[in-house]
């Protein structure tokens, strides 16, 4: 294959430059055996975005490897060192292939720059990293993870001193510093071992003890302490800590899925280690049927997101989506605290622009302010920080199965959520109902919202161009009606404008700029189109509303969602 002049020069720079000989040999082999892969590995640089790095592992500037991780860490070190005083960084990593290796590289580079490092001795959940950053008063934190991406991927997420992922101005400042590291000669790999402190069980115990802060009713738990809870970590970090968290909370009957307790970055028992995918639940469902468990919990590889399955009255199991779980968490927290008289006078909750509006309705019912932010938990964490000392954060969530129930962590936390979900399951059992019946009571109280998500993967150079073309088309030629339903409002988060089609009035949106479009219909249906910031995907979110919830509403909602999806002619 003949590469363009630019790509060939970039390949030659790596083959002739100060890189490992083993890596150079891998480049030569890829050029011969898979030239398209070589082209993709060298046509651009792996972008250090506002959240860090995420990409396929391998040699080249568009891949996760020693040098791209080293450059990211050197840039972060340079930015941290611009401030006076002592500096330290906590580092955690997940189960993925090369995660430990990349974590050690990050530790080496930071220590080589005179920065103290707190490095976990083994894989740990991402939320524990957030806890460690805050507990040890670190300047920053790093997690090596690619969440639920395919096994070929890994990633590098950066946290700031509040335990949250980077937000302005630090995100842009770190990016600027990373982009200045344009040669391996600018990376200091000369580790200073004496600056690396290993974290282990002591930190685990501090984190587990802190989780007890979200427990509302120890009595409700004690009455159901033997309730069956099936848990699968999907080969990830949850195996290390989540069962211990549930036991600390008061639950005794934690049922493992042994085949999926095995830590393995190849994720051998699932097509995708994504708890949003029903197929990831197959083994856990079988175990639940075998043991007659009350609930099923599944976490993603770095244990910041969690999915829930519940046993119904007929003995079958139903998997809830992220919106449904968020609403159960919100309603229980506010109603129980109200009953106990422990609702803070000034309080708030947070949802993203693609999380169900039912969450806002629940907050409003309890006179609790509900903020709406862009997709990404860092924006929820940013609001927590801005409201410190002014109002108490009581919970927030994303439709993508990420929730946080208290502010001593600053990222979504599957362990905290697992404990809260188990407590709610115990409470509902004590009331003579299951979790799905509790959800139905919420629908009867507020109205029925139903949502669906279609995620389309568009890989490579052509994929990026195709996604850009789609977004441009929707902006330049928005629909007037969708399935005969009138379009009443367009929200463009890139222009930061909300345009009311009926009145012609345009208002400003007070959020950071983001390449997202929302179409609001006259019947309260909502369609959101959003290219992913971390994966080669474009996502379509659909939401429909019915003011009455009856037995037939599920079917009607499903049919309405299907019609909306069909209108957009979405194809992979």
The CATH number covering residue 62 comes to 3.40.120.10
Least confident of 83-87, 159-163, 568-572: 568-572
Give CA angle at 449 (448, 453), nearest 5°: 150
pLDDT at res. 422: 98
Distance CA 217, CA 526 (A): 37
State residue 438 phi and psi, 5-degree precision.
-65, -45
Distance CA 308, CA 361 (A): 22
**Measured between alpha carbons, how far is 268 from 289 in angstroms, rounded to an integer?**
22
Same domain, 469 and 418: no
Predicted pLDDT at 570: 64
What is the count of structural domains for the chain?
A: 3
Domain boundary (446, 468, 501) is at 446
pLDDT at residue number 254: 98
Q: Using pLDDT thresholds of 50, 70 and 90, give the confidence band for residue 286.
A: very high
What CA–CA distances, in Å, run from 373 to 11, 159, 349, 380?
41, 19, 11, 7
Q: Residue 21: pLDDT above 60?
A: yes
211-to-8, 229, 434, 467 alpha-carbon distances in Å: 53, 18, 24, 41
Give me the DSSP letters along 288-305. HHHHT-SEEEEE-TTSS-
Residues 6+ apart with CB under 8 A from 306: 275, 297, 298, 299, 300, 325, 401, 403, 414, 417, 418, 421
- Cβ-based neighbours of 35, under 8 Å, separated by 6 or more: 1, 3
Residues 103 and 194 in one domain: yes
Q: Return the biggest CA–CA distance within the chain.
A: 72
Q: Are residues 408 and 456 in the same domain?
A: no
Q: Please check whether residues 188 and 85 belong to one and the same domain.
A: yes
Residues taking part in catalysis: 147
Burial 407-431 (b: 16+ CB within 10 A, else e): bbbbbbbbbbbbbbbbbbbbbbbee
Residue 326: predicted pLDDT: 98
Element (H, E) at 409: none
How confident is the model at residue 299, as a pLDDT? 97
What's the rounded mean pLDDT across residues 329-339? Answer: 97
Contacts of 253 (CB under 8 A, 6+ apart): 225, 226, 227, 228, 229
Cis peptide before 169 (omega within 30 of 0): yes
Listed residues 414, 446, 478: the one ending a domain: 446
Nearest CA among 287, 80, 56, 223 for reference residue 155: 56
Residue 195's domain comprises 44-199
Give the mean pLDDT of 539-563: 93
Exposed/middle/buried for 392, CB within 10 Å: 0-12, 13-18, 19+?
middle
| Mean pLDDT in residue range 459-487 | 87
pLDDT in tens, 98-137: 999 999 999 999 999 999 999 999 999 999 999 999 999 9
Residue 370's contacts (CB-CB under 8 Å, 6 or more residues apart) are 348, 349, 350, 351, 359, 360, 363, 364
Give the CATH number, domain containing residue 507. Answer: 3.30.310.50
Q: How far is CA 107 from the centre of its chain?
A: 24
- pLDDT value of position 497: 96
Give the tens place of pLDDT for each residue, 498-542: 999 999 999 999 999 999 999 999 999 999 999 986 667 899 999
- The DSSP element (H or E) to which 397 belongs, if any, is strand 392-398
Residue at 181 is within a domain: yes
CA distances from 473 to 53, 476, 477, 559 (A): 29, 5, 6, 26
pLDDT in tens, 290-310: 999 999 999 999 999 999 999
Residue 414 shares a structural domain with residue 532 = no
As a whole number of angstroms, the distance between CA 384 and CA 134 comes to 14
Mean pLDDT for 178-185 is 94
* Same domain assignment for residues 458 and 438: no
504 and 539 fall within a common domain: yes
pLDDT in tens, 420-437: 999 999 999 999 999 999
Statement to judge: residues 269 and 394 lie in one domain: yes
Shared-domain flag, residues 360 and 482: no
| Same domain, residue pair 145 and 250 | no
> Angle at CA 557, nearest 5°, toward 552 and 561?
155
Percent of the chain whose pLDDT exceeds 70: 99
Residue 207 scores a pLDDT above 90: yes
Q: How far apart, in whole angstroms, are the C-alpha atoms of residue 26 and residue 447? A: 58
Secondary structure (H, E, C), 457-504: ECCHHHHHHHHHHHHHHHHHCCCCEECCEEEEEEEECCCCEEEECCCC
Q: Give helix 99-112 / helix 66-80 axis angle, nearest 10°.
A: 40
71 lies in some domain? yes
In 239-278 the beta strands, taken as DSSP E runs, fall at 254-256
The pLDDT of residue 388: 95
Same domain flag for 435 and 459: no
Strand 140-144 relative to strand 88-93, pairing = parallel
- Which of 142, 167, 199 terminates a domain? The answer is 199
């Amino acid at each position: 294959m003949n590469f363009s002049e630019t790509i060939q020069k970039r390949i030659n720079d790596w083959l002739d430059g100060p890189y490992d000989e083993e890596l150079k040999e891998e480049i030569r082999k890829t050029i011969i055996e898979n030239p398209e892969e070589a082209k993709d590995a060298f046509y651009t640089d792996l972008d250090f975005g506002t959240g860090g790095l995420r990409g396929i592992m391998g040699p080249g500037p568009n891949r996760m490897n020693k040098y791209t991780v080293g450059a990211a860490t050197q840039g972060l070190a340079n930015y941290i060192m611009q401030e006076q005083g002592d500096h330290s960084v906590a580092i955690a990593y997940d189960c993925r292939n090369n995660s430990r290796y990349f974590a050690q590289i990050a530790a080496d580079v930071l220590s080589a720059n005179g920065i103290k490092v707190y490095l976990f001795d083994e894989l740990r959940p991402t939320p524990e990293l957030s806890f460690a950053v805050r507990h040890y008063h670190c300047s920053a934190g790093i997690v090596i993870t690619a969440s639920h991406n395919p096994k070929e991927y890994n990633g590098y997420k950066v946290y700031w001193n509040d335990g949250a992922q980077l937000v302005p101005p630090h995100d842009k400042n770190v990016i600027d510093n990373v982009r200045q590291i344009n040669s391996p000669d600018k990376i200091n790999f000369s580790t200073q071992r004496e600056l690396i402190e290993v974290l282990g069980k002591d930190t685990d115990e501090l984190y587990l003890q802190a989780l007890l802060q979200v427990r509302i009713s120890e009595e409700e738990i004690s009455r159901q302490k033997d309730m069956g809870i099936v848990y699968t970590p999907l080969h990830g970090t949850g195996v290390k800590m989540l069962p211990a968290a549930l036991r600390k909370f008061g639950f005794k009957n934690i049922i493992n899925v042994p085949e999926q307790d095995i830590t393995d970055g190849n994720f051998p028992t699932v097509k995708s280690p994504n708890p949003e995918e029903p197929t990831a639940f197959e083994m856990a469902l079988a175990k639940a049927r075998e043991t007659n468990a009350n609930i099923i919990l599944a976490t993603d590889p770095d244990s910041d997101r969690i999915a829930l399955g519940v046993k119904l009255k007929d003995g079958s199991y139903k998997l809830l989506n992220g919106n449904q779980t968020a609403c159960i968490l919100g309603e229980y927290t506010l109603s129980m605290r109200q009953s106990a008289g422990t609702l803070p006078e000034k309080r708030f909750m947070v949802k993203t622009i693609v999380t169900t509006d039912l969450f806002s309705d629940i907050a409003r019912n309890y006179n609790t302010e509900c903020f709406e932010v862009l997709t990404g938990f860092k924006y929820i964490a940013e609001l927590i920080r801005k409201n410190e000392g002014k109002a108490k954060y009581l919970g927030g969530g994303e439709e993508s199965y990420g929730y946080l129930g208290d502010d001593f962590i600053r990222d979504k936390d599957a362990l905290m959520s697992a404990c809260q979900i188990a407590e709610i399951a115990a409470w509902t059992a004590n009331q003579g109902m299951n979790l799905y019946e509790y959800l139905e009571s919420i629908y009867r109280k507020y109205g029925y919202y139903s949502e669906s998500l279609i995620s389309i993967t568009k890989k490579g150079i052509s994929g990026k161009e195709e996604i850009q073309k789609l977004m441009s088309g929707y902006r330049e030629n928005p629909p007037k009606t969708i399935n005969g339903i009138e379009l009443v409002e367009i929200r463009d988060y890139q222009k930061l404008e909300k345009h009311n089609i009926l009145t012609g009035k345009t208002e400003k949106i007070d959020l950071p700029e983001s390449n997202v479009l929302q179409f609001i219909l006259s019947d309260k249906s909502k369609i959101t189109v959003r290219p992913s910031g971390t994966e080669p995907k474009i996502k379509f979110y659909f939401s429909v509303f019915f003011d009455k919830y009856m037995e037939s509403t599920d079917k009607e909602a499903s049919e309405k969602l299907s019609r909306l999806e069909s209108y957009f002619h979405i194809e992979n």
